[in-house]
Amino acid sequence: MNKFIANLVFFIFLGSHLFPQNWETKSFSYGDIEGTTRQQIYVYYPHVEMRTGMNSCAVYISGGGWSAHPPGWGDDIPMTADMLLSSGFIVIYIDFRPTIIPGAYWPTQGNDWEAAMTFIMDNHEFLGINPNIISGWGNSAGGHGIHYLREKGWLHITVTQAAPTDLTILPIYWPRLFGPGYSSATYVQKAKEASPLYIVGNPPPITYTLLFHGTHDDKVPKEQSELIFQALKENNHQVDYIEVENANHLFNPYKDGVETSLSLSEISEKTKTFITDTVRELKQFMVKSANITKVERKINRSLLLCEYCNLILFENHPQNIKKEIEMVGYRLYRKHRNETDYLYISTLSAAAANTGFIDRYLNKELIDNYTYYVTCIAKISGENIESKIE
């Protein structure tokens, strides 16, 4: 293992502490590739009294240059994860196949990340997860994965640290991610396809992002965060960028005798605060939007201790759906006749409705016997409600 990989592995665990275990964890396989144990998620549940039945969720992807990340945390969880668990979040570590596995070059990693998110969404009720606002954070190559999942429409709130975003100008990493022959034009195209920068704005949902980058990062230049910051702003995403003065790739002082403007513990605290505050604001917006729609509300007594997903049921008419979605920003599902499983379509927002997203992706799917659902969170006066149009 060369020095760079060793540093990245160190970065993964830097700032981690063995806290008193006030959580429990379960593992699940999200893939069916024979011969690998690396397609796993590790679900960390907060202390029993913090559980609501439908907790908010934050996913994590580890750094390690796509090739040297550990298969899980075990009991030695990072500071950020402990803070989120203490705030009542369910935290999920996404393991994925590293490029050191024969034949596991890109897009294996992207496919695994999306397969993990598909499993999480398909099983959100069993896992006890609120599917409407999913957060994620990651460092270095893990930050690349978090950016990638956000631009693919899986994540609503993201925090990244020292993450590569435009791999076309980082050829030093092509051999590790794409394999031999990295100087060919084919790999330039692969680098573009793997770069979150080139898919910003597609799909259209608005997201909330916080970026950290050291001013003296000699592994992933801070230009990588500057580029994605500008692209997200231009596409009307909510994004903040914090440069950590005098910090290297690991957010340590880049040389003796200087101090960084933020410590690792302060970065963890800001990450936790950004995620928790943004989730809270979005839930409040959803409650307000549910009020605007003037749908019938009733108290579901069996779910008073749960953070429940409200169902808003729309008539099978695209104009009715569009009229409501222009005022709200929810996740859309469809159900066929009496089947119990939901087919996930997309995350929708008022901005998406105004750009014709409904016309392109909903109207062509609208057929007889399908009912469309939009889910949201609502908690009024400390009690959970279920809202729907009959």
Short-list 354, 323, 293, 306, CA closest to 125: 306
* Average pLDDT, integer, range 183-196: 88
- For the chain, the average pLDDT equals 76
Tell whether the torsion through CA atoms of 202, 206, 207 and 212 is positive or negative. positive
Domains of the chain: 3-284 (3.40.50.1820), 296-388 (no CATH)
Span 206-242, pLDDT tens digits: 789 999 999 999 999 999 999 999 999 999 899 999 9
CA distances from 70 to 9, 11, 97, 252, 265 (A): 8, 12, 10, 21, 22
* Average pLDDT, integer, range 139-160: 96
* pLDDT range class, residue 364, cuts 50, 70, 90: very low
> Is the pLDDT assigned to residue 149 strictly greater than 60?
yes
* Average pLDDT, integer, range 363-381: 41
pLDDT score recorded for residue 226: 98
* Phi, psi dihedrals of residue 58, rounded to the nearest 5°: -130, 125
Cα gap 308→310, rounded to integer Å:
6
Locate all alpha helices (DSSP H) within 179-252, ordered by sequence: 185-193, 223-234
Percent of the chain with pLDDT over 90: 54
Cα gap 321→362, rounded to integer Å:
9
pLDDT score recorded for residue 54: 81
Within its chain, how far is the Cα of 312 from the centroid?
24
> Is the pLDDT assigned to residue 286 strictly greater than 70?
no
* Average pLDDT, integer, range 36-60: 90
Look up the pTM and report it: 0.72
Short-list 35, 200, 70, 40, CA closest to 142: 70
Cα gap 326→40, rounded to integer Å:
38
CA distances from 318 to 314, 322, 357, 359 (A): 9, 6, 12, 8
* Residues 210 and 232: beta-carbon distance below 8 Å: no
pLDDT score recorded for residue 333: 47
pLDDT score recorded for residue 13: 43
